[in-house]
A and B are shown apart, each in its own frame.
Chain A
Amino acid sequence: MLIVIDYNVGNVKSVCNAFRHIGCRAKLSCKPQDIKAADGLVLPGVAAFGYAVSALGPLAELIKKLALAGKPLLGICVGYQMLFDESVEYGPHKGLGLISGNVVPIPSSQTVPHMGWNLVKLPEDMDLFARLPREKHFYFAHSFYADVTDAGAKIAYTDYGFQLPASVQKGTIYGTQFHPEKSGADGLKVLENFSKICKRKIA
């Protein structure tokens, strides 16, 4: 069973719907006992960074501890941004600090928000992109991005006038700046890959 962390932000339901659609058991919960017992955790988020961090509250420490102990974790959009050290969105606000880097504004030389479908180059060695071609369009909707400085992280990029990190992987900690639950059939494949990673972890 996957647990989608329910912490009073938008799109949590969309993520559950997407997992249900691909036949994967996923439950929305904010109970520590559910989170501890999960095969994997999904941290979604449509919210401003500061709001999301305060809404997560004490669950942040638990999620961090479990992720560091090897429980697969997938952060999506703001949930992905929270994996990093700090964000300046209406901030600064501290993140979970699981992956080194800061969340900073997209340069104003580009249209901001970065909104719509952009082509992501998918590295072969990133587990989330197994069985997908080497590049695919995914749906983005964000004004800030993670400037990843972690030497231990694998990164998939998209071109938005500069190389914008679209997805990271560090051990069993995963994140996507784009919304796999809103990226059609290819997005659903990314979620399916995550659920397989979680199953492998148990087996």
Chain B
Amino acid sequence: MLSKRIITCLDVKDNRVVKGVHFLNLRDAGDPVELGKRYSDEGADELVFLDITATIRSRKTIVDLVEKVAENVFIPFTVGGGIGSVGQIDELLRSGAEKVSVNTAAVQNPNLLTEAAQRFGNQCIVIAIDARRSKTQPGRWQVTVKAGSEPTDLDAVEWAVKAEKLGAGEILLTSMDADGTKAGYDNELNKAVSDAVNIPVIASGGAGELEHLYDAIVKGGADAVLMASITHFENYTIKQMKEYLASRGIPMNL
């Protein structure tokens, strides 16, 4: 039986891991390669590196980072942030990333998902969706792009379904309302999306307590739970999380 995954997310800015609240007020959390290696040794199932600067200058830095991580870390890792072309995806996969996540570029050019899936297979194309609760329509979420700074007209559930059809193999679903709050995942959002698609959904944003992880899997229907703050600032170890979830009957790779 397939295990549920614990995924640690490392937001990278100027070659350092940082973490904020609601995507703002960033705090330094360490060296990306060292942290990546530490989480891998501690039993993380997967890592995600997000280049949150995503400028042309940072592009080269992130490729170098991917190469360094790949030399030291032997679990799968995903890279995202400002990826806009098949050429960039190719470079990152060849540098050692297992998967890439695309966000803004896929909203602007949905064909990118199809082109990338046909070339690399859909298993390595992750659609990252940053969703914010609609203020006017309850039970709906609005897709935002450009690191959460720009709202779009897209409905998050509808966009998830479309992205799957276009070629995405996994959804990294971040609740902007919950991000960095440690108050729990948005499981209404997780449930709405995971019920609507047949590809795996990674719940992201809001992890603070062990119970939150359980709820995202059981109530939210998530295949994986992603977290940053609670591991970077050592609230819980990955082993504690896995043992807790296993004790509550969730299949884990312990």
Write the residues of chain A forming the contact surface with B, with a CB cutoff of 8 angstroms. Answer: 10-14, 17-18, 20-21, 46-49, 51, 78, 89-90, 108, 111-119, 137, 139-143, 159-160, 179, 181-185, 187-188
Contact = CB atoms under 8 A, between A and B. Distances in A.
B75 A51 contact: no
B90 interface: yes
Nearest to A137: B253
Contacts of B98: 11, 14, 46, 141, 179, 182
Contacts of B75: 139, 182-184
Contacts of A118: 1-3
Given A116-B224, A141-B98, A141-B99, A159 B169 contact: no
21 contacts: A10-B93, A12-B94, A14-B96, A46-B121, A46-B123, A90-B118, A113-B169, A113-B170, A115-B223, A116-B2, A118-B3, A140-B2, A141-B99, A143-B121, A143-B123, A160-B1, A160-B2, A182-B75, A182-B76, A182-B98, A188-B74
Interface of B: 1-5, 40, 45-46, 67, 70-71, 74-76, 90, 93-99, 117-124, 169-170, 198-200, 223-224, 253
Residue among B5, B74, B76 with the highest chain A CB neighbour number at 10 A: B74
Nearest to A180: B74
Contact of A117 (B5, B170, B199): B5
Q: Provide the main secondary structure of the chain B interface.
A: mixed
A113 B120 CA distance: 13
Given A137-B253, A181-B74, A183-B74, A115 B1 contact: no
B40 A17 contact: no
B3 A117 contact: yes
A90 B122 CA distance: 11
Contacts of B224: 116
Nearest to B170: A115
Nearest to B100: A10
Contacts of B71: 17, 20-21
Contacts of B199: 111-113
A182 B170 contact: no
A188 B73 CA distance: 11
DSSP majority for the A interface?
A: mixed
B1 A119 contact: yes
A108 B198 CA distance: 8
A181 to B, nearest CB: 6
A114 B2 contact: yes
Contacts of A185: 74
Contact of A48 (B67, B117, B170): B117
Contacts of A90: 118
A171 B120 CA distance: 30
A42 B200 CA distance: 29
B96 A13 contact: yes
A17 B74 CA distance: 9
Given A46-B124, A118-B3, 20 more contacts: A10-B97, A10-B120, A13-B94, A14-B96, A17-B71, A18-B74, A47-B120, A116-B2, A116-B4, A117-B5, A137-B253, A141-B76, A143-B123, A143-B169, A159-B1, A160-B1, A184-B40, A184-B74, A185-B74, A188-B74
Nearest to A108: B198
Contacts of A111: 2, 198-200, 223
B96 A116 contact: no
A203 B78 CA distance: 40
A160 B3 CA distance: 10
A78 B93 CA distance: 14
Contacts of B96: 11, 13-14, 17
Nearest to B252: A117
Contacts of A142: 121, 123
Nearest to A89: B121
Contacts of B46: 116
Nearest to A114: B2
Contact of B93 (A46, A119, A183): A46
Nearest to A21: B74
**Most chain B beta carbons < 10 A, residue from A10, A49, A89, A111:** A10
B64 to A, nearest CB: 13
Nearest to A138: B253
